[in-house]
Copies of this chain bind each other. A is one copy, B any other.
Amino acid sequence: MTALENLSKLLSRLPGVGPKSASRIAFSLINTSKDYNELLAKSIAEIKDRIRPCSICGSFSETEICPVCSDAMRDRTQLCIVEQPQDVITIQASGAYNGLFHVLGGAINPLNGVGPENLSFDKLIQRINEGSFKEIIIATNPTEEGDTTALYIRHILKDREGLSLTRLASGLPIGGDLEYADRTTLTRSFRGRIQF
């Protein structure tokens, strides 16, 4: 195997990179600057050592406690529960939310052997007991697993006084087109229709 084939093969294991784009990227790396290639290589080699889970919320962090958890300006009465660390970054990038996060580390999926005991529910309960949360926003994915996980969260938290439970709205994506909406999304946007 030549160096180019070897590089293409390694690249094709990245998400969203098929054999054709892998070889296109490999070719491009012959023409990019040596400095860029070395920076990229260093960044890839080091990323796993640089990033760890935040010891409070479980999202990606370069420090023991992540910038969100240690930010005194965040609203400490709101807790947004997500499946993955990536979700924190997506929500943060939207600027739509200013409270705290809790990363479950996945969703309940009995078929894949993922039960509540495999997710960070113990820590969630502990945080809610020790914190001053007034609202828990469930932001699991609008999928079967995400729905199951949302129901489970409701089940374990529903009897707490003074704690409001909400879930992110599902419906037509903004800028989308009715014509291309799938049936489930359309059904959900009918069920969740609001006064206008």
Residues of A within 8 A of B (CB): 2-4, 6-7, 10-11, 13-17, 21, 23-30, 32, 34, 36-48, 50-51, 60, 62, 85-86, 89
Contacts and interface: CB of A to CB of B under 8 A. Distances in A.
Given A15-B21, A30-B47, 17 more contacts: A3-B62, A4-B50, A4-B89, A7-B43, A10-B36, A14-B28, A14-B29, A15-B28, A16-B21, A16-B25, A23-B89, A27-B60, A30-B60, A37-B45, A37-B47, A40-B41, A41-B45
A4 B85 CA distance: 12
Given A41-B45, A42-B41, A62-B3, A51 B30 contact: yes
A75 B171 CA distance: 62
Nearest to A53: B30
A27 B62 contact: no
A42 to B, nearest CB: 7
Contact of A50 (B3, B15, B51): B3
A23 to B, nearest CB: 7
Nearest to A84: B27
